Amino acid sequence: LQVVSNLVENAVRCAPAFSRVTVTVGTGDPARTGHDEVFVAVADSGLGLQEEELAHAFDRFYLYERYGRERPVGTGLGLAIVKELTEAMGGRVDVESRPGDGTVFRVSLPRSLGAAGGTLKGRPDGALHPEVADS
């Protein structure tokens, strides 16, 4: 839930007034992806990101330091948290964007996520890591 909340909050904050933010939830095609997964995609019609920014979109504070004064960005931690939580659950997060066309963030998670009995534990440095219960 934190992952989706962060993505929606980010999209609403970055999209122009009266624009649309779309949340799509679905299942992946195992024949195409090689594994059974669910996904959540959050799309906005904001200003978009430059090509060189896409590789750093999930870096802590990167977009905040770059746009903090000219765009309505948050603390600079939201997308980093999205990536850390998603990867801790065995998933992946992707971003597609073109300047002036908005941005789409897509989180894909294994459908069998709950089967491992995993939990997330915080480390002193603030990072999260998965901890799977012993069988």
User: Is the pTM here over 0.75, yes or no?
Assistant: no
Give the domains, in start order, of the chain with CATH numbers.
2-132 (3.30.565.10)
Task: Return the pLDDT at 78.
Answer: 83
Which tokens hold the place of 7? 């993505």
Query: Is the pLDDT confidence value at 133 over 60?
Result: no
Note the Cα 60 to chain centre separation in Å: 13
Where in the chain does DSSP place strands (E)? 22-27, 37-44, 92-98, 102-110, 118-122, 128-132
Residues 6+ apart with CB under 8 A from 126: none
Which tokens hold the place of 134? 């012993």
pLDDT tens track for 64-115: 666 666 655 567 788 899 999 999 999 999 999 988 889 999 999 988 765 4
pLDDT tens track for 6-18: 999 888 887 888 8
Cα distances from 129 to residues 80, 91, 118, in angstroms, run 13, 13, 10
The answer to whether 1 and 109 have CB atoms below 8 angstroms apart is no
Question: 86, 27, 79: which is closest to 53 by C-alpha?
Answer: 79
Write down the mean pLDDT value for the chain: 78
The partner residues of 107 in beta bridges, in order of sequence, read 40, 93
Task: Return the pLDDT at 58.
Answer: 86
